[in-house]
Structure 1
Amino acid sequence: MKFRLGIISDTHGLLRPEAERRLAGVNHIIHGGDIGSPDVISGLQQIAPVTAIRGNVDTARWASTYADTALVRLAGRTFYVLHDLKALQVSPAALGIDMVVSGHSHVPKLKTVDGVLYLN
């Protein structure tokens, strides 16, 4: 079976139907912060298990259960999740991380540096 990963960020309290449709059928979802509401996570959990971190707008009490970063291993790959790439304080290549997932900028970006894939 092929593992399908869904990545989303900066929902700001709104889980759009088109996002739900695109995520349908994934095995796991990573949320890169600025969740905005616990209802977003509840909605995503109806689709697949979720790994989420908080972003700069996630300041309400409910968001305190989420860390600022996450290191998750899925399907034999290691993912490092943080909201603002400018806050990266580790060397992903040195740690054997395969992909860094971030958000915050609202600008989609995909690049590879030192063998590590960076996705915003």
Structure 2
Amino acid sequence: MVSYVTCILLFMKRIGLLSDTHGFIHPRIFPFFEKVDEIWHAGDIGNLETADSLAIFKPLKAVYGNIDGSDIRAVHPLHQRFLCEGIDVWITHIGGYPGHYERSVKQEIIACPPTLFICGHSHILKVVFDKKFNFLYMNPGAAGNKGFHVVCTALRFVIDGKDIRDLEIWEMKRKEIVL
């Protein structure tokens, strides 16, 4: 007989989310993602080695960003839209933010909003519920060492049926990164 707790664990996914690595992943992010089931990357990967190191560690879903070359664009799409558990997820790199979505995504948001909209590009960590379109917006900020951001960030959360819960933030000051 399968216990109730076991059934719940069978139907939830632990997600690691990052963006804007620009070809660099700090080794400290791997312990943060140790217990996730999948890693999602919201673009500006930087190079295939970065994507490969993530994909070897955990299953990877990724989109390309504006700095990514043809090698990454050949492997990863501009958009990923899929179901995870009971959640309609849309990942893209340049998406804007609630109240100021990019033209390239706004019509689709109006016509068919996802349950969870994820983008990167801004290098600013932001998680907010968009009341107008009734979905959760996530931008994990920037995990890499290039850009104007002072703190490198990533997210970890659980999708359990139709619930998104247990959101955690990984952060590290860029000045602590030794290359």
TM-score in terms of structure 1 length: 0.89
**77-86 vs 61-70, greater mean Cα deviation:** 61-70
- The yes-or-no answer on 1:78 pairing with 2:88 is yes
1:101 counterpart (96, 118, 122):
118
Residue ranges of structure 1 left out of the alignment (5+ in a row)? none
Question: Is there any run of 5+ residues in structure 2 with no aligned partner, and where?
Answer: 1-8, 96-101, 140-179
Whole-angstrom CA distance in 1 between matches of 2:84 and 2:29: 21
The structure with the largest alpha-carbon Rg is 2
Deviating 4+ runs (over 2 angstroms): 60-65, 89-96
More strand by share: 2
1:93–1:20: structure 2 CA closer, same or farther, 3 Å change rule?
farther
2:65 maps to: 55
Where does 1:1-120 land on structure 2 (aligned, <5 Å)? 1=9, 2-85=12-95, 86=102, 87-92=104-109, 94-95=111-112, 97-113=114-130, 114-120=133-139
Identity %: 27
SS in structure 2 at match of 1:65: coil
Compare relative contact order (CA 8 Å, sep 6+) and give the higher one, 1 or 2: 2
What secondary structure, in the 3-state scheme, does the structure 2 residue paired with 1:88 have?
helix
Contact 1:93–1:115 (Cα < 8 Å) also in 2: no
The TM-score, its normalising length taken from structure 2, stands at 0.61
The alignment yields a C-alpha RMSD, in angstroms, of 1.7
Distance in 2 of aligned mates of 1:84 and 1:62: 16
Matched residue pairs, number?
120
Question: Partner of 1:13: helix, strand, or coil?
Answer: coil
Cα shift at 1:60: 3.7
Residue 169 (structure 2) aligns with? none
Q: Deviations over 1:70-102 (max 9, x none)?
A: 102112211101101124244447525111110
Post-superposition CA distance 1:29-62 (Å, at most 9, x none): 1100000011111111122211100000002434
